[in-house]
Structure 1
Amino acid sequence: MIKILHNNRCSKSRCGLELLEESGKPFEVIKYLEDTLSTQELKGIIKLLNIKPIDLVRKNEATWKTEFKNKNLTDDQIIDAMVKNPKLIERPIVINGNKAVIGRPTQKISEII
Structure 2
Amino acid sequence: MIEIWHNPRCSKSRQALALLSDSGAAFQERRYLDDAPTLQQIKHAHAALGRPPVAEMMRTGEKLFRELGLSKTDDDDILLQAMADHPILIERPLAISGRRAVIGRPPERVLELV
Per the alignment, do residues 72 and 55 of structure 1 end up closer, same or farther by CA in structure 2, a change over 3 Å counting?
closer
Per the alignment, do residues 26 and 72 of structure 1 end up closer, same or farther by CA in structure 2, a change over 3 Å counting?
closer
Counterpart CA distance in 2 for 1:73 and 1:100 is 23
Unpaired runs of at least 5, structure 1: none
Q: Which deviates more, 87-96 or 72-81?
A: 72-81
User: Secondary structure, in 3 states, of the residue corresponding to 1:34?
Assistant: coil
Number of aligned residues: 113
User: Secondary structure, in 3 states, of the residue corresponding to 1:17?
Assistant: helix
Counterpart CA distance in 2 for 1:83 and 1:68 is 16
Percent identity among equivalent residues? 40
Pairwise CA RMSD of aligned residues?
1.4
Cα drift, residue 94 of structure 1: 0.9
Q: Deviations over 1:41-98 (max 9, x none)?
A: 1000000001121111101101001212448621111011111110000000111222
Unpaired runs of at least 5, structure 2: none
User: Secondary structure, in 3 states, of the residue corresponding to 1:104?
Assistant: coil
Residue number in structure 2 paired with 1:103? 104
TM-score (normalizing by structure 1): 0.93
Counterpart CA distance in 1 for 2:105 and 2:20 is 14
Cα drift, residue 38 of structure 1: 0.7
Counterpart CA distance in 2 for 1:78 and 1:68 is 11
Superposed structure 1 runs of 4+ greater than 4 Å apart: none
Residue number in structure 2 paired with 1:54? 55
TM-score (normalizing by structure 2): 0.92
Instruction: Give, as a single letter, the amino acid of the residue that structure 2 aligns with 1:66.
Output: E
User: Secondary structure, in 3 states, of the residue corresponding to 2:17?
Assistant: helix
Counterpart CA distance in 1 for 2:69 and 2:29 is 29
